[in-house]
Amino acid sequence: MDLRHLVALGGLACTATSPTLAGQFHMAGGAFFSEADTSIGVTNPNTGNDFDLDFESDLSLKERSTLPYLLVGYDFNERHGIFLDWRSLHRKASNTVVTKPFQLPDSNTEVQAGARLDSTLNIDILRFGYNYKFYDGEDWDWKASIGLHIMNFNVGFGGELGYRVDQDDPTLIPVKDEEFTDLTAPLPNIGLITDYRITDNWHLLGHAQVFALSIEEISGLLLDLGAGIEYKFTEDFGLAATYSYYEINVDYGRDFADLDAKFKFYSPMATLTYAF
């Protein structure tokens, strides 16, 4: 099950329980730019040396792109609420001539220099969290948040792949596309969220989340910062213009997939918000 299915199931669960809850739902949707730097640990089949294969510079995956953003939340009351948001980065590229030979992790499958290669790297980031409003002033609202980011990786290679029956024989036997999927890296986070009411219609917004983790095969760093302004057309409907900086570094060091992913999502972002 990928993260899009999890988002859909979460939305259905919220819809199914809405008649019994006395709180309020809210949604936000928008888009912003991304810059990605991703690599995977592989082996040079000719020398036996390990190295990091860069998806952007070595395999020509697009480094910058525009991404969708979706958030769904539910406030139980003035103090307590939960939220679920989703970001998605799906990329494909074709190389007519590979410049670096490599062998896939925990596999006899390899790609030689000069081969044609099709590469796929799909990443979905799902965040689930809980908010607690610890300060409710006349103009200022402050919330503390705690949650979990779940990153799902889908990595695939196709084209002129092969394996050797004898390591001393340079002849490669062609194979079908090699793909390993569902690499999941969870990363917890804590943060602060603030809302300053300039007037009933104009609000200043800000948030900051950070966390570092190193446990078994997974280590990571999360940094999520944002600031902006929102205009509320009504009490339940608004338009926000914010600048967001969102960085995740994850080193997923399992034997079959030594994946090192670094993401920076940044830029002005416009989002529509609606509460019901």
Residue closest to 129 by CA, chosen among 69, 87, 190, 186: 190
* Structure tokens belonging to residue 251: 């080193």
Domains of the chain: 3-17+42-275 (2.40.128)
* pLDDT value at residue 80: 96
**What is the model's pLDDT at position 6?**
39
Residue-level pLDDT at 104: 74
Q: Which residue is listed with tokens 């793909």?
A: 179
Residues 74 and 22 sit within 8 Å (Cβ to Cβ): no
Both tokens of 4, joined, read 């899009």
3-state SS assignment for residue 62: coil
Q: What is the residue whose two structure tokens read 């104009």?
A: 202
Q: How far apart are CA 144 and CA 80, in angstroms?
A: 10
Residue with tokens 């990928």: 2
Per-residue model confidence (pLDDT) at position 11: 43
Strands (E), the chain: 24-43, 50-54, 64-75, 80-95, 102-103, 110-111, 117-136, 140-159, 162-163, 173-174, 178-197, 202-215, 218-232, 237-254, 257-275
**How far is Cα 27 from Cα 155, in angstroms, rounded to an integer?**
31
In this prediction, the residues of the chain whose per-residue pLDDT falls under 50 are 1-21, 256
Which two tokens mark 15? 């819809």
What are the structure tokens assigned to 211, written together? Answer: 């966390």
- Residue carrying the six token digits 């009933």: 200
Residue type, 273: T
pLDDT recorded at residue 272: 87
Which residue in 140, 177, 148 sits closest to 161, CA to CA? 177
The whole-angstrom separation of Cα 81 and Cα 24 is 9
As a whole number of angstroms, the distance between CA 141 and CA 137 comes to 6
Contact indicator for 252, 185 with CB cutoff of 8 Å:
yes
Q: According to the model, what pLDDT value does residue 175 have?
A: 64
Cβ atoms within 10 Å, residue 98: 20
Residue 170: its pLDDT value, please?
59
- What would you measure as the largest C-alpha separation in the chain, in angstroms? 77
The model carries a pTM of 0.71
What are the backbone angles phi and psi of residue 165, rounded to the nearest 5°?
Answer: -75, -40
